[in-house]
Structure 1
Amino acid sequence: MAKETFNVDTVHSEIGFSVKHMMISKAKGHFNEFDAVIEADPENLEDAKVEATIDVSSIDTKNKDRDDHLRSGDFFDVENHPKATFVANDIKKKSDNNYEVTGDFTLVGTTKPVTFNVVSEGQSKDPMSGNIVAGFSGETKINRKDFGLTWNATLETGGVLVADEVRITFEIEAHKAE
Structure 2
Amino acid sequence: MRKTLFAGLLGSALLFTAAAHAADYTIDTQGAHASIDFKISHLGYSFVVGRFNEFEGTFSFDKDAISNAKFNVTVKTESIDSNQAERDKHLRGDAFLDVSKYPQAKFASTSVTDKGDGKFAINGDLTLHGVTKPVTIDAEYIGEGKDPWGGYRAGFVGSTEIALKDFGIDSDLGPASTHVTLNFVVEGVKK
2:180 aligned residue: 166
Matches within 5 A, 1:138-149: 138-149=158-169
Deviations 1:129-151 (A, max 9, x none): 22111011000111111001111
1:27 aligned residue: 48
Deviation, 1:41, is 2.9
1:69 aligned residue: 90
Q: Which moved more, 1:22-31 or 1:33-42?
A: 33-42
Distance in 2 separating the partners of 1:104 and 1:175: 24
Secondary structure in structure 2 of the residue aligned to 1:79: coil
Matched to 1:38, the amino acid is F
Distance in 2 separating the partners of 1:14 and 1:73: 25
Secondary structure in structure 1 of the residue aligned to 2:66: strand
**Which of 119, 128, 132 matches 2:140?**
119
The root-mean-square deviation of aligned C-alpha atoms, in Å, is: 1.3
**Which of 16, 22, 29 matches 1:3?**
22
Partners of 2:140 and 2:158 within 8 A in 1 = yes
2:107 aligned residue: 86
Matched to 1:118, the amino acid is A
User: Which is richer in helix?
Assistant: 2
Deviation, 1:20, is 0.4
User: Which is richer in strand?
Assistant: 1
Partners of 2:114 and 2:120 within 8 A in 1 = yes
Normalising to structure 2: TM-score of the pair?
0.85
Distance in 1 separating the partners of 2:102 and 2:47: 25
Distance in 2 separating the partners of 1:26 and 1:125: 38
Q: Could you list the runs of 5+ residues in structure 1 that have no partner in the other structure?
A: 154-159
Deviation, 1:48, is 1.5
Structure label with greater radius of gyration: 2
Deviation, 1:103, is 0.2
Normalising to structure 1: TM-score of the pair?
0.91
Asked whether 1:151 is paired with 2:176, we answer no
Percentage of pairs with the same residue: 36
**More contact order relative to length (CA 8 Å, sep ≥ 6):** 1
Deviations 1:76-103 (A, max 9, x none): 0000100000000010011120001110
